[in-house]
Structure 1
Amino acid sequence: MVATVLKLRYRVLGNTLARRPWQLVGFILSSLWGLGVLGGLVAGMVALAMFQGLDAARVVVILGGSLLILGWLVGPIVVAGLESTVDAERLAPFPFTRRQVMLALAGTGATGIPGIVTTLAVLATVIVWVRWPVAAVIAVPTVLLGVVTCVLASRLMGELSTGLGGRRGREIVGTVVLVALIMTGPILTGIVALLDSAGSDLWTRLQQAAGILAWTPLGAAWAVAPSVAAGEWLPALASLAIALATIAVLWIVWDRVIETATSSPRQRASRTVAAGKLGLFGVMPTGGVGATWARSLSGWLRDPRYLRQLLVIPLFPVLFAFTGGLDGFMFILSPVLAALVMAAVGYADISFDGSAFGTTLATGISGRTDRLGRLLGAASVGIPLIVVITVVTSVLAGDAARLPAVLGAALGVLLAGYGVCAVSSALIVTPVPAPGDSPFKSTPGQNSIVGLLVFAVWAVVLVLSAPAIVLAIVSAVTGDAVWGWAALAVGIGFGAIVAAVGVLVGGRTLQRTGPDLLVRIKAFPT
């Protein structure tokens, strides 16, 4: 059964690559990248085996293996999302046992490019232990335990947001896990800073980190071979027990999540509303602009695909506070970076409408009305959020004198971004997750070329917001508050002009491209 599922998976992959040349190019490039990483790793293992001793080998293998498991957790989210050609919900209608479903999913994870490269890479670490033959023999099965841990942890992480009963449960769990992963970096940075404050040099800190990780699920599998090489059999057995227990726990938890995912089909969320209660539609002005404004603001406040973006934006100051302190330059600059990210959220926002965009076209509202309503919806959330972040960071940094300059640059970037997105979203639609989907799941039809479009949007935004940014920089360099207030005035004034021009140009563009956008949205694979 598992072999049949894998054959179908690769047939689907082959057909997809044959139909989409750009995805074939991305597949080839990722394969070449994986081979390059593998070659460099093998060369490093050979050098480590020839020129370094046991202590160095222990630290490199344990730290590298621990980072590998973390990479399997974070990498699919950062790069392209968890591969979803085969998942529990797709296999649910077939007469498979839960164990067969889990084996099939684990097999697809282990036989993809990341799985193959990971397996070959960890087997290459056996080279390190050639001077200790017993450790080399034991290293083969134990590092494969590390690969199994990678695959199971990645699959469990992907299923967590889809297997806890109901759309809201998936959305909450997926978002919480996503935030936890984002904060992993600052947490590790804080640990390193604590070690550094103790006066230890870098090598001592690395040894301490390896010693701690050897007793955790991240490093246990990789610590068995070095313990055997050192003649430490009891620690080796303890690490082996931790590694096996980790796999057992992952399997049991994953089994429970799979059971829920396959036995509880998705249900559309519904809510009874009292007669006459129109929500935001009863508050906003009547007409096309008011209706579009209410619909857009409802999406920003209720759609988890927007809410995840809003949740990530305030994390920028937190990240820089961990890494550089409250008095660091990046902490003070964080509102501008947050505004830049916030500005690009809607660069293809019609994609989030899905086929419901046809209803917008059917109403006959003008393109300019649609652009203005969407801009007001985004600004109703974005502007207050950026203002609050700017004020709070300036106060915490104890540098309130720079508030006008930073706020001017941030608002200039945000308003320019709204203008650019008013045009770009009339031209660009991309495959996006469906409402309630896991944030870890890749969307069919996504590719690296589509992902690069957001960088083009950011480049245009930075060019158009340059006047406010330059004035803010001058204020920071000279310390003259006048330049800061000038940056605030230019950021708001010129940014508003860019936003208004974007609405006009984007409106005319949407009048022409609207039907074509709907056709492209309906053609996206599901």
Structure 2
Amino acid sequence: MAAHVLRLRAALLVGAFREPGRTIPRAIGFLALVIGTAVTASRALALPSLPDGVAATALVLSAAGLVLSFAIAPALTATVDPLDPRRFRTLGAAPDPLAAVLLLASLVSVPTWLLLVYEVVATIVWTQLGASAGSAIAGAVLHLLGCVLVARVVMALRAALGGQGRPADAAGVFVVALVVASVPATIASAAVWSPGAARALGRVAGLIAALVPGTALPAGEASGSGSVGLAVAIGIVVVAALAVAWVALVRRLLTTIEHPVVARGGAGLGWFALLPRTATGAIAARSLVYGLRDSRYLANLLVIPVAGILPVIPLLVAGVPIEVAALVPVPLMALFYGWLPHNDLAYDASAVWLHIASGVRGVADRAGRLAPVVLISVPVLAVATALSILVSGRGDAVLPVVGVTAALLLSGFGLSSIASVVAPYAVARPGDGPFQQPQRTDSTGAWSQALVLLGALAASAPTVWLAWLAIADRQVESVAVLWTGLGSGAAVLLIGIGIGAAVFDVRGTRIMEFAGAT
């Protein structure tokens, strides 16, 4: 069976270039990936010439970026998975051998081949940095398996959650994945211009090396620090955990029939059973159902952490102390998360008529629609705050950072609740890829986005100023910053929901016309 599946996988890969009308674009895209990989490999081979351990930092961050890319690409793409375990139900294969065969077949793909090139280059560079050939090869194998298993697990989770595929956006997502993977190496290379940035990135790389399979082993041996045995154990445990998750998901997909099961007492209703049986709870549940399965939402939710971290790099290169620069990402992420629902009504398409036709009050609609972004943003910001404080080493900055984060997040939610009913604008249709955008004939989207961002900044300005005073020269108590942020953010949130609800009640007909037009 393994040989048969591998032949089918190779035939599908070759057949993708023979599809009418897509041969030339795909060939050009493949050529661009090969050229980009060659350029990245040539730059990576020159890393050992960089001073002060920057090369090791670049390799660790690149390895982490690749794992992240293999996790994000399947989540964002709308591509049909040719190795979906459900396709093999009719063969009567046992789940465990089938999981091993599908994992082996996953190696026959363009992204995996490019990853293999990276592993070869990384092995060469690690040996030049002082690691033994055995540890470098072992690290490369663990990293390769980790990336492939992460992609398999994410795809299987999407299938188990009922995700649908379309063959449109794979090339674009893999290009983005390659860019994301190559950015850390470029950043680390640029760190040579600033010793402070190099030390900061080295500290970050040290924190994440243990979590990325296959990086802690050669990194620890090259630097002469850390326990090699512990690094090996951690890498094996991470890969083994991913393998167990993959086998468990294959078993579930082979033995589960995808149809809704409604049992007594609300079991099987998912979010509708967990949330309160009110209008707000029902709208929140419906928003969570489609929000956590729609690639248009997931793309925005997953991009925000990256968007919050990237502005820190210029600060480090410019010589800003790590103690200050490390505190910047969390408020930026809070600002973008609060801004995210400013056009949530447009994503509803024609489904918004359910709210209007059933006479749902605007307050329930405005509050319920915030559920998906709240569910994602709160834990992400909590973890990001802990990491930010850990990297900066400023334990006294916890309360000011939380206060600023709360002010930006809650203010953004309140202003977004108004903007989404006052000035909605066209977005990608349901089922379209996250990178597709419709043509617009007016500037409504531009000014509504800008007003929400600027309004959230203006509403949070007093909290930001107090936080700066508390962190810089301790003229203000940290507790005062926390309560100022929570109070001002909550006030803007309540006022925004109230105004948005009133507008929703008045403009119901116009909203239905807009939803029908999109």
**What is the aligned partner in structure 2 of residue 96 from structure 1?**
93
Q: 1:5 to 1:510 in 2, by over 3 A?
A: same
Written as runs of structure 1 = structure 2, the 5 A alignment for 1:438-477 is: 446=433, 448-450=435-437, 459=446, 461-462=448-449, 472=459
Deviation of the 1:24 alpha carbon = 8.5
Q: 1:119 to 1:340 in 2, by over 3 A?
A: same
Cα pair 1:350 1:429 within 8 Å, conserved: yes
Q: Which amino acid aligns with 1:3?
A: L
**What is the aligned partner in structure 2 of residue 357 from structure 1?**
none
Q: Which amino acid aligns with 1:429?
A: R
Cα pair 1:130 1:136 within 8 Å, conserved: yes
Q: TM-score, normalization: structure 2?
A: 0.56
**What is the aligned partner in structure 2 of residue 416 from structure 1?**
419
Deviation of the 1:252 alpha carbon = 4.0
Taking the aligned partners of 1:4 and 1:490, their CA distance within structure 2 comes to 61
Taking the aligned partners of 2:438 and 2:283, their CA distance within structure 1 comes to 23
Deviation of the 1:54 alpha carbon = 11
**What is the aligned partner in structure 2 of residue 271 from structure 1?**
263
Taking the aligned partners of 1:402 and 1:203, their CA distance within structure 2 comes to 27
Deviation of the 1:416 alpha carbon = 1.4
For residues 69-90 of structure 1, the C-alpha deviation after alignment (integer angstroms, 9 at most, x for no partner) is: 344334543x437862331122
**What is the aligned partner in structure 2 of residue 505 from structure 1?**
510
**What is the aligned partner in structure 1 of residue 67 from structure 2?**
69
Deviation of the 1:52 alpha carbon = 4.9
Cα pair 1:419 1:500 within 8 Å, conserved: no
Deviation of the 1:369 alpha carbon = 4.2
Larger radius of gyration: 1
Taking the aligned partners of 2:290 and 2:344, their CA distance within structure 1 comes to 13
Q: 1:70 to 1:34 in 2, by over 3 A?
A: same
Cα pair 2:6 2:108 within 8 Å, conserved: no
- Bigger mean CA offset, 38-47 vs 240-249: 240-249
Taking the aligned partners of 1:382 and 1:240, their CA distance within structure 2 comes to 45
Cα pair 2:423 2:445 within 8 Å, conserved: no
Deviation of the 1:202 alpha carbon = 6.0
Q: Which amino acid aligns with 2:98?
A: V
Taking the aligned partners of 1:488 and 1:300, their CA distance within structure 2 comes to 19
**What is the aligned partner in structure 1 of residue 108 from structure 2?**
111
Taking the aligned partners of 1:407 and 1:55, their CA distance within structure 2 comes to 41
**What is the aligned partner in structure 2 of residue 258 from structure 1?**
250
Deviation of the 1:349 alpha carbon = 1.7
Q: 1:475 to 1:84 in 2, by over 3 A?
A: same
Deviation of the 1:121 alpha carbon = 1.8
Gaps of 5+ in 2: 163-194, 267-271, 310-321, 379-384, 386-397, 467-483
Q: TM-score, normalization: structure 1?
A: 0.55
For residues 62-108 of structure 1, the C-alpha deviation after alignment (integer angstroms, 9 at most, x for no partner) is: 4533443344334543x437862331122223333435532453245
Q: Which amino acid aligns with 1:263?
A: T
**What is the aligned partner in structure 2 of residue 190 from structure 1?**
none
Deviation of the 1:122 alpha carbon = 1.8
Deviation of the 1:270 alpha carbon = 0.2
Deviation of the 1:367 alpha carbon = 9.8
For residues 474-498 of structure 1, the C-alpha deviation after alignment (integer angstroms, 9 at most, x for no partner) is: 988999x9xx999999968986787
Q: Which amino acid aligns with 2:77?
A: A
Q: Count how many residue pairs are aligned between Structure 1 and Structure 2.
A: 416
Written as runs of structure 1 = structure 2, the 5 A alignment for 1:199-210 is: none
Cα pair 1:65 1:146 within 8 Å, conserved: yes
**Cα RMSD (Å) of the superposition?**
6.2
SS in 1 for 2:91: coil
Q: 1:85 to 1:324 in 2, by over 3 A?
A: farther
Cα pair 1:69 1:218 within 8 Å, conserved: yes
Cα pair 1:465 1:491 within 8 Å, conserved: no
Taking the aligned partners of 2:283 and 2:62, their CA distance within structure 1 comes to 45
Taking the aligned partners of 1:85 and 1:446, their CA distance within structure 2 comes to 18
Deviation of the 1:462 alpha carbon = 1.9
Deviation of the 1:296 alpha carbon = 4.2
Written as runs of structure 1 = structure 2, the 5 A alignment for 1:370-519 is: 370=357, 377-382=364-369, 397=400, 410-421=413-424, 424=426, 429-431=429-431, 446=433, 448-450=435-437, 459=446, 461-462=448-449, 472=459, 503-509=508-514
Cα pair 1:45 1:127 within 8 Å, conserved: no
Q: 1:492 to 1:159 in 2, by over 3 A?
A: closer
Cα pair 1:54 1:226 within 8 Å, conserved: no
Cα pair 2:71 2:151 within 8 Å, conserved: yes
Cα pair 1:73 1:153 within 8 Å, conserved: yes
